[in-house]
Structure 1
Amino acid sequence: MTDTTAATRVIAGVELPAAGTWKVDPGHAEVGFVGRHFMLTKVRGRFTGVDATLEIGERIEDTTVTAVIEMATVDSGDQTRDDHLRSGDFFDVESHPRATFASTSVTVTGSEAVMVGNLTIKDVSHPVSLAVEYLGHARDPWGSDRAMFSARGKINREDWGLVWNMVLETGGLLVSKEIELALEVEAIRS
């Protein structure tokens, strides 16, 4: 018989989250990205408006993730750059206020997984592969169970029509096409 109150379970000798619904805590979620400026300097940004749900499957491979990202919440630490990212040159938040992610498959090896899903930005969808690591579990001071995850991936922003750029006098581009995705999230068991 399965213990329905335990927050974790052991599968193939590895502790993993219990099956069920886990909601991402937006106050403890870093949905970030890293691009390059002048093709050299890393510029980091994040979205603070994130609503995501993990449906952890009885079979861990049946796990699904859905997320909605409020694109106007982009924060790169520079108001001028953030306003440009919100404009029609990039996210066009007036016409496309949200991006979404919906997983399509999960391949698990121990506490790590590869999650593939469709990322939709500006009504354009493409598959994205994320290397996911389960970091562990904790019970918070209010009695809620939390599962912590880290994920990484890379995309070409031009695949989503985010093509604004400037050619530099010396050749090269002002803004990199390749964008690194970096996520750190805590999910609370429902």
Structure 2
Amino acid sequence: MSSSASPTRQVNGVQLPSAGTWKVDPGHAEVGFVGRHFMLTKVRGRFTGVEASVEIGERPEESRVTAVIDMASVDSGDKTRDDHLRSGDFFDVEKHPKASFASTSVTWQGSKGKMTGDLTIKGVTRPVTLDVDYLGYARDPWNNDRAVFSAHGKVNREDWGLTWNMALETGGILVSKEIELTLEIETIREG
């Protein structure tokens, strides 16, 4: 809980959330990804099972994020594809039901920042850097204080052992190695 009663504060002339714990609202959180099929078509998916919290530091650079993702909650809009993503070819959810993220550093300027953290998928941990935007504050009809964030970045899925693919007769591969990560997150102030 923040030492301040106000849910926001001014930092270098920019309104930011007050220091304290802000829990991610899973009903208003999207952890998404975009890959390419045939190296052409964008295929979008998301994870609906996400538990996360944001510790906003007195100085924005002292902030931390932790998250756990239910890998079986993957939803790309196609049951056959989702079942394949859950299989041993990709996420292997029977052996590795959860993925996790823990931030290791944050840099901040105005309402934008960069967050680096350790992403663990299938027991493999690699660093990831995300560009983060603080979009603003709102009080909901039930008197909860909400801070809203957006983040994005790119990863090579093969860094986590997600190497399944097929060569195409015309050259190239079926599924892109580079995956875009997109996050749209509403947090609720604890306390």
Name the TM-score class by shorter chain. Answer: over 0.9
Which residue of the partner structure matches residue 36 of structure 2? 36
Maintained 8 Å contact 2:3/2:19: no
Is 1:141 matched with 2:144? no
Matched residue SS, 1:81:
helix
Maintained 8 Å contact 2:165/2:175: yes
Q: CA deviation at 1:5?
A: 1.1
Matched residue SS, 1:184:
strand
Q: Structure 2 unaligned segments of length 5 or more: list them.
A: none
Q: 2: distance between equivalents of 1:145 and 1:173?
A: 46
Write out the 4+ residue segments of structure 1 that deviate beyond 4 Å after TM superposition.
none
Which residue of the partner structure matches residue 72 of structure 2? 72
Matched residue SS, 1:170:
coil
Letter in 1 for 2:55: E
Q: 2: distance between equivalents of 1:147 and 1:119?
A: 23
Q: CA deviation at 1:135?
A: 0.0
TM-score normalised by length of structure 2: 0.98
Q: Structure 1 unaligned segments of length 5 or more: list them.
A: none
Q: CA deviation at 1:3?
A: 6.4
Q: Per-residue displacement from partner, 1:16-72 (whole Å, max 9, x unpaired)? A: 000000000000001000000000000000000000000000111000000000000
Which residue of the partner structure matches residue 47 of structure 1? 47
Q: 1: distance between equivalents of 2:144 and 2:4?
A: 15
Matched residue SS, 1:91:
coil
TM-score normalised by length of structure 1: 0.98
Q: CA deviation at 1:156?
A: 0.0
Q: 1: distance between equivalents of 2:60 and 2:35?
A: 32
Matched residue SS, 2:148:
strand
Query: What is the aligned-residue identity percentage?
Result: 74
Q: 2: distance between equivalents of 1:116 and 1:54?
A: 14
Q: 1: distance between equivalents of 2:39 and 2:6?
A: 48
Pairs aligned (count):
189
